[in-house]
Amino acid sequence: MINKILLILIFVVSGLTSSFAQTINGKSIEEIEVEYIQIVGTSKLFSKKVTIQIDFGQSVKFLSTGKETQIKDVNGKLQKFNSMIDALNFSDNYGYEFVQAYAFAVGNQNVYHYLMKKRKK
């Protein structure tokens, strides 16, 4: 009897942890099986923080706000990043390594593009 209860508890806990994963456009980051991603960071006005969007080739609506390409945390709120290095460390935790970067200014804001590649297992 105790073994059955323990087994049920394990399934419930594993189901809860996978349902609270960080997501992009409603898809868990762990489920994204692509070779390359691009991190696009936009500096915030009068701040060192950046708004991060992840491009992995997903389709995006024509008049989108860009929020569907941003990472949501376990509570469904937009993930906040202190800097591009913070975003690099985040993507490293999910198995991606840095390839190349470039930046340019749009108006008074810097836009950073970091190309990342999935590490070989």
Asked if residue 108 belongs to a domain, the reply is: yes
Predicted pLDDT of residue 17 = 40
Total domain count for the chain?
Answer: 1
Mean pLDDT value across the chain: 79
Got the DSSP string for 41-86?
A: EEEPTTSS-EEEEEESS----TT--SGGGSEE-TTSSBPPBSSHHH
- The answer to whether residue 99 is domain-embedded is yes
Residue 11 lies in a domain: no
pTM here is 0.71
pLDDT at 48: 80
Domain containing residue 26: CATH number: 3.30.1410
- pLDDT tens for 47-77 read 888 888 888 887 766 666 667 788 888 888 8
- Residue 5 forms part of a structural domain: no
Rounded distance between C-alpha atoms, residue 87 and residue 79, angstroms: 10
18 pLDDT higher than 50: no
Range of the domain at 78: 22-118
Inside any domain, residue 50: yes
Note the pLDDT of residue 24: 75
What span, in angstroms and rounded, lies between the C-alpha atoms of 30 and 23? Answer: 9
Residue 109 domain-assigned (yes or no): yes
